[in-house]
Structure 1
Amino acid sequence: MTLLGRAEGPALTVRAVCRAAELTERYFYESFSDRDTFVRAVYDDVCARAMSALTTAATPRDAVERFVALMVDDPTRGRVLLLAPESEPVLTRSGAEWMPNFIGLLQRKLTRIADPVRQAMVATSLIGALTALFSAYLDDRLPASREQFIDYCVDMLVGRAGSF
């Protein structure tokens, strides 16, 4: 995960992975058919952890705080989820495969919105906005404090979902 989520961008080769893990290439290829399979496995693991944290959240604030703890407290993980797909072509497809899961999870939480079409549009737009916010925050493009950031994300979720 460290090689894929570097602040300078991914620097991931099979050789670099083996060096970091202190393994031979033979062991690498016993688990993964190639570099792209490894990259997808790392990305899928991070997505599954994020989904697990969000699924068990009781409130919007709890969800945001859990996601911040997972992605901001460990910025390597956050960069893998949110920034690596921009520079890793193999993750473009993986990201597109995971996105409906995150949208669906949020959509199921939007119980105040009766119309399922509107529910889907609100969930999709909120996931897009949150993705942009977290990406900018991880990339140090938002000068907000942690509390300001969490409060804003919660306000956006509650405000948008509650406006129907």
Structure 2
Amino acid sequence: MSGRSYRGMSAEERLAERRERLLSAAYTLYSDPGFPDTTIERLCASARISNRAFYECFSGRDELMQAVYDRCVQETLQSVSKSIEQAPDTLIDRIRAGITGYVTFVTEDRRRARIMHLEVRRAGDCLITSRQRAVTAFTRMIESNITDLPDAVKANRHLLALSMIGALQELLIEWVVADEAPAIDHLISTATHVFYRSFVT
């Protein structure tokens, strides 16, 4: 690729700018109408680039979906980590802060919630690896914050963290697909109750 500048931008800067436009277009279109119904042509039209320019940025719809999903996950991890760091250093406070941080951040933009909890499944095999990396990252975060479990809790900490992730995912799917979405504070209070009761036996 030529390194000559065009309109004050280098070739690398133009490529990065097109990539960001595609990510922005995919963030909206992959959430509605959804990944299966979004064509490359539609993505290009929304991003205002040519099909040729698309393939200079991504190998196809699958790689673009991976990039969008991975960015959503990284942004969520950063937000949740910050929420936990700012919480009082007790088990229940860390649990409540982590849940509140996760649910609030994911649901403040419905596109993020749909991509992370619904379209990730509709995308199928192309996101298996990305989804497993995300589960691993969230599991490690949970495990590192439940080191002070009560002695009466005999559950394997890793399996307990996985079960917490599964419960949250189902609550968020319900919020995304329900005709009457449950209130955010109800999601938070329900998840907090379930998680904390798992620790207090």
Match of 2:185 in 1: 147
What's the CA shift for 1:117? 7.1
The answer to whether the 8 Å contact 2:143/2:161 transfers is yes
Amino acid aligned to 1:152? T
- CA deviations over 1:105-143 (Å, ceiling 9, x no partner): 111111223799711111011111111111112212675
Residue 9 (structure 1) aligned with residue 34 (structure 2): yes
Residues 108-123 of structure 1 correspond to what in structure 2 (within 5 A)? 108-113=144-149, 118-123=156-161
Residue 83 (structure 1) aligned with residue 118 (structure 2): yes
Match of 2:62 in 1: 36
What's the CA shift for 1:31? 1.5
**Share of identical aligned residues, percent?**
22
Q: For structure 1, which segment, 110-119 or 142-151, has the greater mean C-alpha deviation from structure 2 after superposition?
A: 110-119
Task: Return the TM-score normalized by structure 1.
Answer: 0.86
The answer to whether the 8 Å contact 1:2/1:76 transfers is yes
Greater Rg by CA = 2
Amino acid aligned to 1:53? S
- State the Cα RMSD in Å: 2.2
Higher relative contact order (CA 8 A, sep 6+): 1
- What is the distance in 1 between the residues matched to 2:148 and 2:180? 31
Residue 99 (structure 1) aligned with residue 135 (structure 2): yes
- CA deviations over 1:135-162 (Å, ceiling 9, x no partner): 11221267532222211112222222x3
Structure 1, unpaired ranges of 5+: none
Q: For structure 1, which segment, 136-145 or 70-79, has the greater mean C-alpha deviation from structure 2 after superposition?
A: 136-145
The answer to whether the 8 Å contact 1:51/1:102 transfers is yes
1:148–1:45 CA distance, 2 compared to 1 (3 A): same
Tell me the number of residue pairs that the alignment of Structure 1 and Structure 2 aligns: 162
Residue 163 (structure 1) aligned with residue 196 (structure 2): no
- What is the distance in 1 between the residues matched to 2:119 and 2:81? 23
Task: Return the TM-score normalized by structure 2.
Answer: 0.72
Match of 1:132 in 2: 170
- What is the distance in 2 between the residues matched to 1:45 and 1:116? 35
Amino acid aligned to 1:63? G
